Amino acid sequence: MQYDFFLNVALHPFLNTFISKADYRIHQGNPPITKIMVQKRDTCQSPGVLIGTYFHQGIFSPVYRRETKGGTNSVNRGLPLFYRNNSTKRVQNTYFSGSLIFYSNTHLFSMKVGILGATGAVGQKFIRLLQGHPWFEIEALGASERSADKKYKDAANWIEDVVLPESIKEMTVRNCKPAEFGDVDFVFSGLDSSVAGEIEKAFASAGIPVISNAKNYRQDPTVPLLIPEINPDHTELIKKQTFTKDGSGWIVTNPNCVAVPLAISLKPLYDAFGIQALILTTMQAVSGAGYPGVASLDILGNVIPFISGEEPKVGPETRKILSTLEGTTLAKPHFPVQATATRVPTINGHMISVTAKLEDPPSNFEELKAAYTNWKNPIGDLDLPFSPKKLYKLHEEEQYPQPRLHADAENGMQLHLGRLRKAEVFDVSFVAMAHNTIRGAAGGAILNAELLVKKGFLK
């Protein structure tokens, strides 16, 4: 992802150049690599100095510096250029004398975050996805009393397909109590629904915002069921919450891992034609069952035509997501949803076969296709790190999308749409697919947090 910003600074004693323009690029990694190309202020010609920096624990430090003096180059690692003051939560310049002025929304600091349910499957996905995040830094990990006070490497059975980050291994797991998370700006919750309700309420009541993956508050009329590209205005519901008198504590949830791709796939149709009724069948990957998940003898070479508790969520959540905000109240649509949820032997990527009856059907296929190609992303200009460059991938080939080929596209945050066609029964049919543990869980929650930063709810 690229950010452009302008700096107004005085002479840097180590660079021996004035900086007026920078091209700032973030490359995900551990640590993430940040490259800054700077121009001399007096000439503003081609980039005169190339600086590689890395960002770690709130500090930007040079990795190498190349300067041409008398025909010689020097490459070395220097001291921090600027850093985040943990008390004021502002970026400060250490070796620049003069002011540091930003003319864009570029974030050069990280907020301190906690993860509740950090040893579980969703918690582990949060840990993995937050490595190298340019805005958020993991400060605290919470889990059950059984895991509390242990090193994370001893408390968790790490199931991600990457190595457990060194910075996380030695962190001590805390109890999921607000008093033990006083050093964070907000928390992500990957808690199981059996315990999430009371714990999340306790954090919000203590003035610690909660961005949750659990189902407990999804149907609360004051809690946004948020997909940033679909209903960003629903964040206004936060102002109705009463966990704290000053509004400092609140809860935002992301939807069920099927409701996410379903609502995203329906939004352009809903806006253009209206929806009267839906019939759908889900084909849900085994990762959606968590760990240890579905027994191998049950799922290998097999399909299970029922997932307990899944079907009743799909209709109510989809209708809430597509609701219209009227003041601080949601006006919900009333279309019925007939859902059949099945478990299939794929690892990642939930697929849905959908047939929809529309209120005002399109007259031809091109009009139907145009609903997607002409759709405008309401957060497209916010430069959110987890936002895909292109939300919809409309596949023309009849054999696509496929979870194994497409679930990880755009860092797992893209919605894939295929088999789009006029239907013999109802009006339109299509297949939708998205990564269930990224777009449909932890990645969606991180994108929610990024939007809430931009909207000023997270500070």
CATH number (domain holding residue 412): 3.30.360.10
Q: Band of the pLDDT at 22, cuts 50, 70, 90?
A: very low
User: Does residue 39 or residue 325 have the better pLDDT?
Assistant: 325
Dihedral angle of Cα 381, 383, 388, 393, to the nearest 10 degrees: 20
User: Which of the listed residues 93, 120, 153 is the one where a domain comes to its end?
Assistant: 93
At 140-161, the pLDDT tens digits run 999 999 999 999 999 999 999 9
Amino acid at 384: L
Question: pLDDT value at position 273?
Answer: 98
- Maximum average pLDDT range among 93-102, 105-114, 428-437: 428-437
Asked whether residue 179 falls in the same domain as residue 289, the answer is no
pLDDT (mean) for 387-416: 97
The verdict on residue 210 lying in a domain is yes
Number of domains within the chain? 3
Structure tokens at 300: 């290998």
Residues 146 and 233 in one domain: yes
pLDDT tops 50 at residue 384 = yes
257 a catalytic residue: yes
How long, in residues, is the chain? 459
Q: Is residue 100 part of a domain?
A: no
424 shares its domain with 277: yes
Question: Does one domain contain both 26 and 126?
Answer: no
pLDDT (0 to 100) of residue 90: 41
315 shares its domain with 243? no
* Same domain? 299 vs 349: yes
Task: Choose the final residue of a domain: 61, 93, 125.
Answer: 93
- Give the per-residue pLDDT at 109: 54
Name the pTM for this structure: 0.80
The answer, yes or no, to whether residue 52 has pLDDT greater than 90, is: no
Angle formed at CA 448 by CA 447 and CA 449, multiple of 5 degrees: 90
119, 224: one domain: yes
Report the C-alpha gap between 343 and 334 in whole angstroms: 28
The pLDDT assigned to 77 comes to: 33
Quick one: pLDDT band at residue 110, thresholds 50, 70, 90?
Answer: confident
- Tell me the C-alpha distance between 187 and 216, whole Å: 16
204 and 126 belong to one structural domain: yes
Assigned token pair, 307 = 């997932």
Question: What mean pLDDT do residues 118-130 have?
Answer: 97
Check if the beta carbon of residue 47 is closer than 8 Å to that of residue 37.
yes
Percent of the chain with pLDDT over 90: 75
Q: How confident is the model at residue 31 (pLDDT cuts 50, 70, 90)?
A: very low
Are 45 and 189 in a shared domain? no
Q: Is residue 104 part of a domain?
A: no
Q: Is residue 105 part of a domain?
A: no
Q: Is the peptide bond before 47 cis (omega within 30 degrees of 0)?
A: no
Please provide residue 339's backbone torsions phi and psi, each rounded to the nearest 5 degrees: -115, 140
Which residue in the list 107, 350, 416, 435 is annotated as catalytic? Answer: 350
Separation between Cα atoms, residue 218 and residue 224, nearest integer Å: 7
Same domain, 277 and 374: yes
Q: What is the mean pLDDT of residues 309-315?
A: 96
Given a cut of 70, whether residue 374 has pLDDT beyond it is yes
**110 vs 313, higher pLDDT:** 313
pLDDT confidence tier of residue 13, bands split at 50, 70 and 90 = very low
Examine the domain organization and report whether 291 and 405 are in the same domain: yes
Identify the pLDDT of residue 102: 27
Q: What is the pLDDT of residue 328?
A: 85
Mean pLDDT of 320-349: 96
Q: Which of 107, 257, 395, 406 is catalytic?
A: 257
Query: What is the pLDDT averaged over residues 217-227?
Result: 98
Order the strands of the 90-93 sheet from edge to edge: 2-5, 19-27, 33-40, 49-56, 59-66, 82-85, 90-93
For residue 13, the enclosing domain spans 2-93
Residue 436 makes CB contacts below 8 A (sequence gap 6+) with 257, 258, 284, 285, 287, 288, 348, 349, 350
* Rounded-to-integer distance, Cα 157 and Cα 159, Å: 6
Cβ–Cβ contacts within 10 Å for residue 309, how many? 10
* Last residue in a domain, options 93, 126, 158: 93
What's the pLDDT score for residue 305?
98
Mean pLDDT within 109-128: 94
SS3 for the chain is: CEEEECCCCCCCCCCCCCEEEEEEEEECCCCCEEEEEEEECCCCCCCCEEEEEEEECCEEEEEEEECEECCEECCCCCCCCEEEECCCCEEEECCCCCCCCCCCCCCCCCEEEEEECCCCHHHHHHHHHHCCCCCEEEEEEEECCCCCCCEHHHHCCCCCCCCCCHHHHCCECEECCHHHHCCCCEEEECCCHHHHHHHHHHHHHCCCCEEECCCCCCCCCCCCECCCCCCHHHHHHHHHCCCCCCCCCCEEECCCCCHHHHHHHHHHHHHHHCEEEEEEEEEECHHHHCCCCCCHHHHCCCCECCCCCCHHHHHHHHHHHCCEEECCEEECCCCCEEEEEEECCCCCCEEEEEEEEECCCCCCHHHHHHHHHCCCCCCCCCCCCCCCCCCEEECCCCCCCCHHHHCCHHHHCCEEEEEEEECCCCCEEEEEEECCCHHHHHHHHHHHHHHHHHCCCCC
**Residue 27 bears catalytic tag:** no
Q: What percent of the chain has pLDDT over 70?
A: 76
Do 295 and 428 lie in a common domain? Answer: yes
Least confident of 84-88, 250-254, 285-289, 347-351: 84-88
Dihedral sign (CA 96, 101, 104, 110):
positive
